[in-house]
Amino acid sequence: MTSRYTIHQFRGDLFGGLTAGVVALPLALAFGVASGFGAVAGLYGAIALGLLAAVFGGTPSQISGPTGPMTVVFASAVIAFPGNGSAILAVVFLAGVFQIGFGLLKIGVFVRYIPYPVISGFMSGIGVIIILIQLHPLLGAPSVGTPMEAVMQLPQALSVVDSYSVILAFITMAIVFLTPAKISAVIPSPLIALLTGTLISIFCKFPVEVIGTIPATLPHLSIPFVSPALLSKIIPMAMALAVLGVMDSLLTSVVADSMTKTKHDSNRELIGQGIGNIAASIIGGLPGAGATMRTVVNVKAGGTTRVSGIIHALFLLSILLGVGEYAALIPLPVLAGILMKVGIDILDYRLLRMIKRVPRPDLAVMLIVFIITVFVDLIVAVGVGVTLSSLMITYRISKQLEVDIQGVRHEEWQRDLEKTLEEETDFGIRTLSVMGAFFFGTTAKMQDQVSKLMGTKVVIINCLDVSFMDLSGFFALSEMIDRLKFENIKPIVVVREGIGIRERMLKMGYHDLLGVDGIQVDYNAALHLAWDYLDEYKD
């Protein structure tokens, strides 16, 4: 039975949606300018994604729109396809398609397994990229497209600093950083900064760069078609954008859950985000994701259902159609000041405060991802980070694997029985006990033990303490068995019942490899079977 939608809920959604829209307005304009695609593209993206993600998404109180990380990736597409609007928007379109695919395949849950050092290095790198790129409009210099370009041209920008731009930027930054929380809760500090900086610029007639004409009309609908030859460049960017949007949105969903005491549907959220980004591409808008700050503002103002997200989008639409001509007067240094705050807020202070206590391998991954993000490529950064983290995890787990040819230690009676059997049989029966995950990272250690078993007649491979075995583990075990049989040694494998290893071994042909009784689930029975085999050797 569904609960009724009450007037009290509508009042909360109305205030929440309007407040989130007020916060979103300056950010949408700023992200649009920062992307190189135009301020109106930021508004288009905020409207399309904000509306459709609210309707189709899986987090009722979440507000979606352009975000800093998504804008940075989108800006790289703008640089990669200069003047080719269809190719740029095709990146967004395909990213939305990928996100819908992720949701349909129900892989939203796997986002939580991305290692934290990778997320930390990537997000801090995004923050630094925003800061570096906004330094130039802050100083009154022409905008740059990449952080490397920003660093290389910084001396030139410092040599021709425009005092009017710096004054506006610092007034803006003072407002967004220093506005008391009580005031910002009523009127968001970015909006105060936007209005104040723009009015100062107009009345004092500051000769600074402004946004320029913003069409106060509805956008044209156009599906971005591109040449198949460009797909090799478009698809990796689209995948990076999609994955980043997934991370951004689902992390925001977790924040919304903690504030509203609800539980989001991650796979539905991905579908909603995908639909929203597809729509954004069709109307020429920026891509986006669940926006943490706007979601928090919405919830604190009373928004609890999808209606708040819809109201937020309709508010931005009314702004576009009503005051677009006035938004053209907003100075670029003011937007740069607002984005400076965004970039600084994205930095991962949680890890930075603990930097002396973070394990060195994790810190190394974070720094490598950070450097590659800022100075090389966002896609490469995530790929390298995940790969390095996976290798380190593999190494750590492989170090935990124990292979003991002296017998099992977890039960005294087994150890005593093994000792007796080994002594009485002059080590004709040996045991090889494996403890830990048996996977591709640990197979080498297992193979190294085989040479120590030469001269033995029967080997019991005790895997009772193995809880997991991947394909590499199964193949390594079969290779070991083949080698033992080649040396005329009878292998017996003991596995724990009920965890699926025995069933998978049978499906993979171990029954033919080991014989009818070569796979045992009872260790005592395996020891007695080994004795019987030894008697057969004597006969």
CA distance 136 to 53: 34
**Residue 136 covered by a domain:** yes
| For residue 447, pLDDT beyond 80 | no
Q: How far is CA 268 from the centre of its chain?
A: 17
Q: What is the pLDDT of residue 424?
A: 60
What totals of helices (H) and strands (E) does the chain contain, helices first? 24, 7
Q: Which of 89-98, 354-363, 369-378, 387-396 has the lowest mean pLDDT?
A: 387-396
Q: Which residue has the higher pLDDT, 419 or 509?
A: 509
> Do both 25 and 121 map to the same domain?
yes
> Do both 239 and 92 map to the same domain?
yes
Mean pLDDT score, 147-151:
84
Q: What is the pLDDT of residue 380?
A: 77
How many structural domains compose the chain? Answer: 2
pLDDT, tens digit (0-9, with 9 covering 90-100), for 151-173: 888 888 888 888 999 999 999 99
CA distance 286 to 40: 9
Q: How far is CA 105 from the centre of its chain?
A: 17
The domain of 164 spans 7-346+355-392
Mean pLDDT score, 359-374:
86
> Do both 217 and 104 map to the same domain?
yes
Q: What is the pLDDT of residue 324?
A: 64
> Do both 379 and 499 map to the same domain?
no
Q: Which residue has the higher pLDDT, 312 or 250?
A: 312
CA distance 111 to 266: 10
CA distance 46 to 28: 6
| CATH code of residue 513 | 3.30.750.24
> Do both 417 and 324 map to the same domain?
no
> Do both 336 and 471 map to the same domain?
no
Q: What is the pLDDT of residue 233?
A: 92
Q: Which of 120-124, 400-404, 469-473 has the lowest mean pLDDT?
A: 400-404
Residue 281: both structure tokens together: 């591409």
Using the 3D structure, point to which of 392, 418, 450 is the last residue of a domain.
392
**Residue 2 covered by a domain:** no
**Residue 373 covered by a domain:** yes
CA distance 132 to 154: 9
**Residue 145 covered by a domain:** yes
Q: Which of 19, 143, 15 is nearest to 75 (CA)?
A: 143
**Residue 397 covered by a domain:** no
**Residue 336 covered by a domain:** yes
pLDDT, tens digit (0-9, with 9 covering 90-100), for 189-243: 888 888 899 999 999 999 988 877 777 777 888 888 888 889 999 999 999 899 8
> Do both 185 and 135 map to the same domain?
yes
Q: Which sign, positive or negative, has the C-alpha torsion 302, 308, 309, 313?
A: negative
Buried b / exposed e along 299-314 (16+ C-beta atoms within 10 A): bebbbbbbbbbbbbbb
Residue 284: both structure tokens together: 């020429």
- Average pLDDT in the chain: 82
> Do both 372 and 423 map to the same domain?
no
**Residue 431 covered by a domain:** yes
